[in-house]
Each structure stands twice: as C-alpha cells, then as structure tokens.
Structure 1
C-alpha cells in the first residue's frame, strides 16, 4: 500500500510538472492553410430554431435561460431582434485602479451578451473596442456605450442588427453606412415615424430615441453613457425591421480533435489596456478572460453593476437625462464566460495612419478554442451582406459549443500583434 501511495504521488507530480511546463505555441495567422472548403449555405432560420426552442445565437434551450423581470429578448418573447452595442474597453474593461475605481467602466450588464467582438481601435494597440450582440436576453440598460469606427458597420451588416453607439468618426463612418445601404445616423430627417435602426447617443438631441439615452454623472466623459435597450426595442424600433439569417451550428459534444488549448494569450500591443489571457474552466466549459492591472493581481473580466442609477438627476446641456453615479455605486457583477473563443485572422489597414480600416471579406485563418482544445481552420465571407462562415480543419462549417462566443479580430499583419496558446 505504501509503494502504491508513493507511485500515485509521483504520477501526480509528473502530471503537474507537465502542466506547468506545457508548450506554448504561437499561431501562424498569415500562412495559407491547406483546407478545402465545403461551402455552406444558410442554416435554419432564427424562426425555425426558435420554434424548436433553441436560441439561434447561443444554441441554448430558451426555456432554461434565466432572464431578470426587467429584461426582454428572444427568451421572453420568442421573437428574434438582436441589438449590437459598442461597448467601452477602457483600462481593459476593469476601470481605472489608480483612482480606486476597479470595474467602474466595466460593461454594464455585459454578461448577457450572446456574442462579443473585440477589435483593435488604435494602430499602436493601445485601445480596443467590444461590440456586443444582445439577443437571448436584452437588458433594460447597457453600457458603457462608446463610438464607432469603420470596423463596426462592417460587422453589423452581416447581422443586420439594430445598432447603438455614442458617436463616430465623421471622416469614415457616414460613408460606411451609405455604402452599406443603411440610413445615415447623422441625417436630420429622422422622425418618430421613421427612426431607422442606428441610434447615436451624442447626436441624439433631436432624434426620436433621445429619451432612451442616459449620461451618468460622476464618471469621466466617453465612458458614461447608457442605452435603455428594452425601451428602445418596445417603443422605437421599426416593426418591419427583419434581421439577417445568421444562425450557427451547435453541438453538445466536447471536441476531441485538435491539440491542447486551455490558455490563450492575446497580444494587441498594450499590457494594461488591450492584452489579455483566457483560461479554460472545465466546470463552466468556458474561457474566463483575465487582464493585467497595475498594482493588482490579474483581474477577471466582469461586468459592472450599478446601484442607485435609477434616480433621475437633471438634464444635461445636450438634452439627455443625467443620473448620479459615483465610484462607490459600482460593484463587480457576473464574470463573462465564453464557451467559444474564435480568433479571426484579418488584414488590418489604417486610414490617416491611425483609424482602423479592416478587411472583413474574403478568406483568412481562424482558430477555435472550445472545451480546452484548439482547432485550426479558416473563415470566408464573400461580401458584407453575407455572414462570416467559420470552417474547421475538415473544411466543414464548425460546430460551436452551446453558449456565448468571443470573436477576436486579429490583424496579424500589424507588428507586435499575435496569439499564442498552451
């Protein structure tokens, strides 16, 4: 018995040592992969999946989705009408610890997003932006809403989703909307009968949705805006708006192919602002995002919960209603857990030397992290009106784990950007 106990301890030590010194592999995001694509058509429509009781965005059973009483969404109404919202990633989504405000600018109600896109916002990698798609559960309010670059209309187009933003670059974005056939959100012809589908906070003084935007006092500008999604959906959204067919394939099986992929290291170029590490949690069958914080241990990516934000304070100079929120009114909420992490290799170009101009059509490499495994594949999108289809190593459309998905748009052609894993 003593010899057996010693043998077991030695085995445990060997396994632990192997885990500690697991090989870190760097993804080659640029070299073409020899994968023959079996071109996919459209999957069953959202309505067909909902009729089967399945979410078209997460593959979850709608009857099992817990939804707060003040929320709406597919799990409540049985209707599919996704919202895409531009969300701040200031200080990597945990707030400003130097001012004692950890999680102060973390995404408000962000844990309810079905799909999250992360894209670099500055050429030096010093800022990224989260684009969150809410569908299964649409919260009463979300934040903190930030501005748009050319990247984001191109993402939104494949969903034809409703879109909330806090502004945009005049040099790029209005032309993007026009090129994609979407009503220019800067148009002065908006009215209650024709509100469109793009809602802009800081340009909303004379728009029909202005009362559904809140600016919070006590938070620095650019990270202080909330949108009341539920009220927008129920009172402003055109009744005849039809989102695109964007359903994915899902499976209940944990991947068996591929190599070990339990930890992912994402490098955009700024340790404390954009770089992150995602670690697989077997109990959750998902990846938890961690970020480095000065004078702290690495912190998990969590949403910000607001206390006392329901009290109306006063109107601002722009006519938007402000509410008092102080640093102590923030408490960390739920941790955001992603059941699928997709690293989509793209070509990132730049306008004026600094503004993102990504190529999101054509083909490129894609790497999938699911169930603690890494699978190499490719993606394809023929034009901006088509959905991006992700293909596995066998050339067939990849089957995702049921749950939330993080899509990281990685411009490997930029120096200093890479993804590695172990």
Structure 2
C-alpha cells in the first residue's frame, strides 16, 4: 500500500479533550448530549422491496490508480488521499426488528456484530467516506468491547450513551466520541429514530478540538493484509483443506436476528440477511454485501442482571474462520494492545491475505456456534459434523 504518512503529519493538529457519554435507554449520565431535533418525515422507508444488486469488485492494479488516489486501509479499494487521511466514523447501529432499515450503512468498509444483551445483536459500522452523508444510522448506545474495536481504526465514535461499563474508556483523552447529539425524525418511535450527519460530526469536532485527521501515534495504517493490486484471494488454490462455503448461517448464536450470509457466484459477494429478509440500506436501496467474512471466537459472558455482555478483546489464544469467494479456512487471531489492529493468521502461522472489498466481522462468544453450509461448528470454531 502506498504510504502517505508525510501528508498526514503535515495536516495533523493537537486534539485531546475529555468527554463522557450521553443519555440513552441505559440511563447513563450525559456530559456532552443536547436535546435532539425532531424532523417530520413522510418517506419512512424503502420505495421498493427489490434490492439493488451490488456490482462485482472491479480490480484496479496499483499502476492504474488515478492520480491522487491510494488504497483504502479498510477495503483496499481506491480512495482519494483526502478520504484516506481523514479519520473514519464508527457508528453504533441497532439490529432490533423495529429499528430496520438503516441509512447509509452500506457505505461501511468494515462492520462488527456481536450479542450485546440477551439474544439481540448490535453492529458497529466503520465508514471512511462520510463527509457527504446527511443521514447515518439510526444510532444506539455503545459497549466497551465495540470501543476497543473502534480504537483499531482511530475512529470517531458515534453513539447515544451506554452502560456505566464504558465510562473509563470514554474518559480517556485519546477517546473521541460524540454521544446523544444526533437529530431525530418521525419515521419511527424512539429510541430508534436518532441519526447523525456529516455536518453534526464536523461541527462537534471543531467545537471540541477533535482532529479529523488520522493521528500517527495511534493509527495502524496497515490494518488488514490485502491481496496485491486490488485483487481477490483464492482460498481453494492456496489451501488444500479449504472448505466450500456458500451459506454462513449464524442463527444459532444470533437467534433473534438469524444473521445469515449467502454467496453469489456472479458478484463473488456474500449477501446479508436478518429476520429471514435481505438486510437493506434505506438510503441506497442496496442489500448489505461483503467480500470477506470473519467469524471471531472469543471468551464472553453475561456480566450483570441485565445480561449485558463482556468479551475478551485482547487475546492470542483464540480461533475462528475466514470466508471469501465461496471458500473458508480455519484461522487464529490476536490483539495485543488497545489501539493495535487485530491480526488474523492461517494454521501455518502466516497472516491471512484478504480479498479487496468490504469485511464483516462476527464475534461469537463461547457457546456460540453456526453452520458453514451443512458443516456445524462448535463454540471453539472446530468442524464437528456434516
């Protein structure tokens, strides 16, 4: 990947300031939230039930990159140097049925999903090219493990409060978050009707001395190990034990949303389904789709009477699966510090080479299992039955 840290150093400004989390359904104390504006809306959802098909990932070699373009650290796709140098946003997005559909989440280069309480999941969408978006979300509360994952991308966290477990992380000087500052619309009932916009993010960051530019002392520029020249990874050619996988069924470990991914051989993408239906973006009319899926097994447990979850984000002993282009391999992963990237390795100890395109990371706690086609996986990620 082309290195442009020199450009970053020229544009960085100091931006360390302390802020707490905002009001939410978790009744946390607000230090930076303000009353949200309610906007009347007549258009409350999709205009069509037919998903707009995604286009196959077009390979652009390094020597074909247009002037002023580099490769995204999130997707390996061409982006402008300006987008590359700007920090992404990490927005907390609810998966409740009544919260569907969301807006502009298909712009995310990386999406994380895991259980947050009971059997319901929440996602965090990492969006790098957000400056032209006037409606992002909806948005809900944060969790401490999502905050650790947002640290990996030097992201500006967008949320609305969270349980007190997040307070110590939010209080760190290096944590840049915006809580409870979204606008509300009348398209659905609270708390699922709060959204963010680029204007809100820019105005808040300027007012509170949050830099919009990547911080070189924090940003891990080489996060994923992508295929060269914007290419795709062929697991079947590289690994003799690669499994053929057309359906990733996580309905056992995510029993409310029934999260499932179905492979399309024409686009080489895995299309996401929740509640038995395509997971749609109301702004674009697109079904969410991914070039890469990572199943990341980790230690997790319920931490209180609310069944709020806790996960072991820092570890080097756990495994999972990497899935791309119709095949899957067994992997291990490690995360050593708060701001370091999570690294993924094959069974030979080599860092996996990932396909160019969007990535979905599904975190599965102990006891969580799923199916890769007809293959049942136990809670450790092992293949146990056909």
Considering the TM-score relative to the shorter chain, is it more than 0.5? yes
- Whether the 8 Å contact between 2:2 and 2:70 is mirrored in structure 1 is no
Q: Where do 1:340-355 residues align within 5 Å? A: 340-353=292-305, 354-355=307-308
CA distance in 2 between counterparts of 1:117 and 1:358 reads 13
Tell me how far apart the structure 1 counterparts of residues 76 and 203 of structure 2 sit (CA, whole Å): 25
Alpha carbons of 1:136 and 1:395: their partners in 2 closer, same or farther (altered >3 Å)?
Answer: farther
Distance in 2, Cα, partners of 1:222 & 1:336: 23
Query: Counterparts in 2 of 1:136-147, with a 5 A limit?
Result: 136-138=129-131, 139-147=133-141
> Is the counterpart of residue 265 in structure 1 residue 249 in structure 2?
yes
RMSD: 2.6
- How far apart, in 2, do the equivalents of 1:130 and 1:248 lie? 20
Alignment partner of 1:336 is 2:288: yes
- Is 2:70 the partner of 1:53? yes
> Could you say which residue in structure 2 is the equivalent of 1:279?
262
Aligned to 2:333: 379
Are the aligned partners of 2:72 and 2:84 in contact in 1 as well (CA < 8 Å)? Answer: no
Deviation at 1:377, TM superposition (A): 0.8
Cα–Cα, structure 1 residues 409 and 182, in superposed 2: closer, same or farther, change >3 Å?
A: farther
**Secondary structure of 1:154 counterpart:** helix
Matches within 5 A, 1:268-417: 268-269=252-253, 271=255, 273-292=256-275, 298-305=276-283, 333-353=285-305, 354-363=307-316, 364-411=318-365, 413-414=366-367, 417=368
Q: Distance in 1 between matches of 2:272 and 2:4?
A: 29
Once the 2 structures are TM-superposed, how far is the Cα of residue 136 of structure 1 from its aligned partner?
3.8
Aligned-partner Cα distance in 2 for 1:228–1:52: 25
Where does residue 92 of structure 2 map in the other structure?
86
Paired residue total: 296
> Could you list the runs of 5+ residues in structure 1 that have no partner in the other structure?
1-42, 63-73, 96-103, 184-195, 202-209, 293-297, 306-331
Secondary structure of the 2:299 match is: strand
Q: 1:270–1:336: structure 2 CA closer, same or farther, 3 Å change rule?
A: closer
Q: Structure 1 residues 221, 341: CA separation in 2 closer, same or farther (over 3 Å shift)?
A: same
Greater than 6 Å deviation, 4+ residue runs? 48-52
Counterpart Cα distance in 2 of 1:45 and 1:382 = 24
Counterpart for residue 226 of structure 2: 250
Question: Is 2:119 the counterpart of 1:119?
Answer: no
Aligned to 1:421: 372
Are the aligned partners of 1:113 and 1:137 in contact in 2 as well (CA < 8 Å)? no
- Equivalences for 1:196-211 in 2 at 5 Å? 197-201=176-180, 210=181
User: CA 1:76–1:158 in structure 2 vs 1: closer, same or farther (change >3 Å)?
Assistant: closer
- Alignment partner of 1:133 is 2:126: yes
- The superposition leaves residues 55-93 of structure 1 with CA deviations (integer Å, 9 ceiling, x where unpaired) of 11100122xxxxxxxxxxx576453311100011112xx
Q: Is the 8 A contact 2:87 2:154 kept in 1?
A: no
Q: Distance in 2 between matches of 1:225 and 1:47?
A: 35
1:420 CA displacement: 1.4
Aligned with 2:100 (options 102, 105, 108): 105
